[in-house]
């Protein structure tokens, strides 16, 4: 499957890694639900670095949508909330 | 539902909404391609803006570094002439400049990061836009409505995700650049107002002026001391010179003294000697 890290591009990740990533994503999700800003950053970092470690960059000319999209490095909880609300997100 | 899936769905929902607006799939292709080209322009402008802002910060960092170095030299000069109060003043100002410098350096690094990200985004988008153009022409050439719709949806969803990502990157870079511009403007104003300029040097540099005054009076003192020394030593050189003259006179006047004493005997012997010398 293809995973996008916002601001970095797409990575191809083995389907077998899905459950591992889902676990990390659940931890991240929990911090957002709790409004746990201090816990959010390390949870995001952990998820991002795992995806980077197991993923291979998708060829630049590929036009495939990503199955999963991750907030970029340095994103705040507010950024994520904005992403989820979809306000003025995609130009065109 | 997970954060990753929800974000992905938001992107797809946006793409689908845009697709639904189009009646003819081919229209979708052309319209989307136009939007892609516009976004490419925008991201390139974004890269240029961030670079301009970064260069401005770079310039200010250099200026502040120079004033910090200068204040440091002035503190040393002041200490060397025993003016601890001036040295303290210079070092206090230096600490202020250093504070500004460290803030600017942090901002500079973050701006550099933004520039790199935006450059990467621009390159990725370019590759995808190129791919989209090729695909667009292929789809148009082999156009059958049903088949085209599916392929167009795929290509469109793929590129619109990239466009959304790039759009976000541009927004972020614009925010950072605006913050940076505001900050750079504030420092420019500080420099223009003289608050920093006084430290940087030029006509209003009071520490340097004081040091210069001290340097000048030091020079005057040194000159005075030299003159006094010359005057005090004045007698001794003349004595030496007088001695030399006395020696020379006795050597030159020898014949005369001798001629005075023994005129007739000495002159015949002296005359041939003088002639030999000439």
Q: Which residue of A has its CA nearest to B38?
A: A92
- Which is nearest to B175 in space by CA: B124, B131, B110, B223? B110
Contact across the interface for A9 and B124, Cβ inside 8 Å: yes
What confidence tens digit (pLDDT) does each residue in B79-136 have? 988 889 889 988 988 998 898 899 899 989 988 988 999 999 999 999 999 999 998 8
Sort out which chain A residues have CB atoms less than 8 A from B123's CB and list them.
Answer: 60
Q: How many CA atoms lie within 13 A of A15 on its CB side?
A: 0
Give contacts of B155 with chain A, Cβ < 8 Å: 63
User: Shortest Cα distance from A21 to chain B (angstroms)?
Assistant: 10
Residues 6+ apart with CB under 8 A from B201: B67, B70, B208
Please judge whether B10 and A70 are an interchain contact, meaning their C-beta atoms are less than 8 angstroms apart.
no
Three-state secondary structure of A47-59: HHHHHHHHCEECC
Q: Which helix (H) or strand (E) holds B126?
A: helix B84-141
- pTM above 0.95? no
- Interface contact flag, B124 A69, Cβ < 8 Å: no
Residue B102: CA count within 13 A, CB half-sphere: 5
Of A65, A80, A90, the CB nearest to B158: A65
Containing A2, the helix (H) or strand (E) segment is strand A2-5
Q: Residue A40: what are its φ and ψ, rounded to 5°?
A: -65, -45
How does residue B210 score in pLDDT terms, banded at 50, 70 and 90? confident
CA distance B109 to chain A (A): 14
Report the distance separating Cα B136 and Cα B138, nearest Å.
5
- pLDDT at residue B6, as a whole number: 83
CA B273 from centroid of its chain's CA atoms: 79
The ipTM (two decimal places) reads 0.80
Q: B263-277 vs B254-261: helix axis angle to the nearest 10?
A: 150
């Amino acid at each position: 499957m293809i995973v996008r890290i916002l601001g970095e591009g797409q990575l191809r990740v083995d389907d077998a890694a899905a459950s591992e990533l889902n676990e990390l994503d659940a931890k991240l999700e929990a911090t957002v639900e709790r409004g746990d800003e201090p816990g959010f950053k390390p949870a995001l970092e952990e998820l991002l670095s795992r995806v980077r470690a197991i993923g291979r960059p998708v060829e630049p000319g590929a036009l495939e949508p990503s199955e999963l999209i991750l907030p970029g490095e340095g994103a705040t909880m507010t950024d994520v909330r904005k992403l989820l609300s979809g306000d003025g997100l995609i130009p065109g | 539902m997970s954060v990753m899936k929800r974000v992905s769905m938001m992107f797809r929902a946006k793409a689908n909404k845009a697709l639904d607006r189009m009646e003819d799939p081919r229209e979708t292709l052309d319209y989307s391609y136009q939007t892609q080209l516009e976004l490419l322009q925008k991201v390139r402008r974004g890269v240029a803006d961030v670079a301009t802002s970064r260069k401005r910060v770079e310039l200010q960092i250099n200026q502040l570094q120079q004033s910090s170095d200068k204040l440091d030299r002035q503190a040393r000069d002041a200490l060397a002439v025993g003016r601890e109060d001036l040295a303290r003043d210079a070092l206090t100002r230096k600490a202020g400049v250093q504070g500004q410098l460290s803030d600017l350096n942090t901002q500079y690094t973050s701006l550099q990061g933004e520039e790199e990200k935006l450059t990467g985004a621009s390159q990725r988008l370019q590759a995808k836009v190129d791919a989209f153009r090729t695909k667009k022409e292929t789809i148009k050439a082999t156009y059958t409505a049903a088949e085209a719709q599916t392929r167009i949806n795929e290509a469109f969803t793929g590129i619109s995700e990239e466009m959304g990502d790039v759009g976000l990157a541009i927004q972020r870079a614009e925010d950072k650049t605006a913050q940076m511009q505001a900050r750079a403007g504030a420092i420019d104003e500080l420099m223009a107002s003289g608050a920093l300029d006084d430290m940087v040097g030029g006509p209003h540099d009071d520490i340097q002026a004081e040091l210069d005054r001290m340097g000048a009076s030091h020079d005057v003192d040194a000159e005075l001391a030299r003159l006094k020394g010359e005057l005090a030593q004045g007698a001794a050189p003349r004595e030496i010179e007088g001695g030399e003259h006395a020696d020379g006179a006795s050597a030159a006047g020898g014949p005369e003294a001798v001629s005075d004493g023994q005129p007739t005997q000495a002159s015949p012997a002296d005359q041939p000697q003088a002639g030999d010398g000439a």
